[in-house]
Structure 1
Amino acid sequence: MVISGRYRLWLIAGAMLLVQMTAPGMAGQVPAATPLVFAGSGTNLPIVRILAEEFQKRHPEIHIEVPASIGSTSGIRAAADGAIALGLISRPLKENEKGLGLEVATYARTPLIIGVHQTVAEDNISYAEILDIYRGKKNRWKDGRDIVVLTRESGDSTIEVMEKGVPGFKEVYDESQKAKRWTPLLKDLEMNQTLAKTPHAIGFSDLGALTVERHKIKPLKVNGVAPTLKNLQNGIYPLAKPLMFVFHREKLPATAKEFLAFVHSKEGAKIMKANGYLPGK
């Protein structure tokens, strides 16, 4: 039986509660408080897991679960259904999601990285070169090696950032999909792991993931500009992924509100900056 991402979290929460209720010595006792579950886009996971860990050090009575990526869309649906406390998203709400009664809180941005395997000699790429690669017109690196293109699926937040930030990208991306030029990768972690181990490959990552998870990926400058927090903050680097929480304000547990306050505190900001994320909007 295939279990959809939307209901996977119900099973996780139910299983954890069952374990608590049936553990030795628990019979007749009140079970421990249900853990907070934060789930959604893989872009959010590296920093949310660090923030959750630091928060729990200060509040050991609060337990937080951050499962594997289920994507922004499933995170939104799970938050709307009340299956999770916080949905993790890396794109704005779509029109059909704006009526769900969810509040959106942006807490950070991180530079979107055009990354390559460490075998690639180039250290810079232009918008024109990106478009030519997706057209299939540019298919070799300067050393003559074939370019291995790793891409994401249509509708992914990375592709949305590229479509908004790189003039002409939407058209060449759509054409490449119709031509079935490459097989898209469906998760951030899958992209990072595949890019790190595939010689002569080009793909996408972000500064936060590279900092936290230490993937052996070489970030390229884009039009001569390095993907750093300083360049993003100064408005020089053009490509960034937004990180947001979605939730029902009136249904939000007090413990989740404490976590949000921690994220938006000076301490939370310091943690994010140290790990490749620019706090705030």
Structure 2
Amino acid sequence: MIQRRKMFPVWPASMLAALLLFGPGTAIAETIRISGTGGAIGTMRFLGEAFRKAHPDVRFEFMPGMGSSGAAKAVLAGLLDIGLCGRPATGEERDQGVAEFRYAKTPFVFGVNRSVRKTGMTLAGVVEIYAGKRNRWEDGSRIRLILRPSMDSDIPALKGMSLEMAAAVDMALHREGMIVAMTDQDAADAIELTPGGFGATTLALILSERRDIRAMALNGAVPSVRAAADGSYPYTKTFCMLTRKHPSATVRRFIEFVRSPAGAAILAKYGQIAVR
């Protein structure tokens, strides 16, 4: 959901409340419950469909995105079997009993609404937008920057691009009247629906959800699986699966499938490189 400080309703609290209502004891045998960072959910649905061809007795329940931190909490509470995380598990989460399985990385991109004619930018130009020094596209139309909350996993990914970018992101987060999208799907919705919309997302989300968003070239590098693999597009986001320390045999089999050559082929189709 978006609010204007502006933020797009907060899923994590409501979703966790719904999960608590039904509780872990209501899960059907051979059902794998999955949620977490929204950018990973679309591809995980396709992975689940492929896994079921060999294991038709297994069912998947996909909850709306609740973010990386919400996923970790739900896994620890026994409310999810697999939490999808767009950052490494924290030391505290590991101490509490979370196990982490890295499985993919995807180009971390700047997406634009189709009304924007530009196909590429420099990182210095992106810094100007976040710092508030540039608010118009070349044709004079307004740039509508879509932000994420300060605690979202996209924020360290943005700040890690450069020292100048880190300072510009802090300026944007403290500026009044900004559009702030609470989830990955909210951010994609805002970019798609807002004329002049511009914001960070992932190639994985754009491709797996067939979003009408243009992923911009950055410093002349077009984001793709190949460019991320050979390093010519250096900005990526890593996805992890989180489980309890001793997941069920069914969950372990699915994790092995995701990290198999068959899983890697599906990941590549939707803008991701298999990693361990």
TM-score normalized with structure 2 length: 0.90
More strand by share: 2
Task: Check whether the contact 1:106–1:243 (CA below 8 A) recurs between aligned residues.
Answer: yes
Letter in 1 for 2:188: N
Is 2:226 aligned against 1:230? yes
How do residues 177-196 of structure 1 correspond to structure 2 at under 5 angstroms? 177-196=173-192
- Which aligned pairs between 1:20-169 and structure 2 lie closer than 5 A? 33=29, 35-169=31-165
Report the count of equivalent residues.
265
Give the counterpart letter for 2:171 in structure 1.
Answer: E
Aligned to 1:278: 273
Distance change >3 Å, CA 170–CA 228, structure 1 → 2:
same
Match of 1:227, SS state, is coil
State the secondary structure of the residue aligned to 2:211: coil
Amino acid at match of 1:245: M
Give identity over the alignment, percent: 28
Q: What is the DSSP-based 3-state SS (H/G/I as helix, E as strand, rest coil) of the residue aligned with 2:171?
A: helix
CA distance in 2, matches of 1:106, 1:211: 20
For 2:139 and 2:271, locate their aligned partners in 1 and report how far apart those are by CA, in whole Å: 31
Give, in angstroms, the shift of residue 14 of structure 1: 6.4
Report whether the alignment pairs 1:171 with 2:181.
no
Secondary structure of 2:39's counterpart equals coil
Shift of the alpha carbon at 1:59? Answer: 0.8
Asked if the contact 1:157/1:241 (under 8 Å) is kept, the reply is no
Q: Which amino acid aligns with 1:11?
A: L
* Paired letter, 1:259: F
Q: Tell me the equivalent position of 2:241.
A: 245
CA contact (8 A) 2:145 2:198 kept: yes
CA RMSD in angstroms, aligned pairs only? 1.9
Structure 1 stretches of 5 or more lacking a match? 18-31
Which amino acid is 2:253 matched to?
E
Output the CA distance in 2 between the equivalents of 1:15 and 1:96: 26
**5+ unaligned residues in a row in structure 2: which ranges?**
1-10
Asked whether the equivalents of residues 117 and 200 of structure 1 are also in contact (C-alpha less than 8 Å), the reply is: yes
1:107: how far off?
0.3
**Which region of structure 1 is more displaced relative to structure 2, 164-173 or 146-155?**
164-173
Q: Is the deviation greater in 172-181 or in 231-240?
A: 172-181
Higher RCO, 1 or 2 (CA under 8 Å, sep at least 6)? 2
Aligned partners of 1:42 and 1:188 also within 8 Å:
yes
What does residue 23 of structure 1 align with? Answer: none
Indicate the residue corresponding to 2:16 in structure 1: 6
Amino acid at match of 2:150: S
Q: Distance in 2 between matches of 1:75 and 1:259?
A: 18
2:106 aligned counterpart, secondary structure: strand
Letter in 1 for 2:135: N
2:5 corresponding residue in structure 1:
none
Following superposition, the deviation at residue 105 of structure 1 comes to 0.9
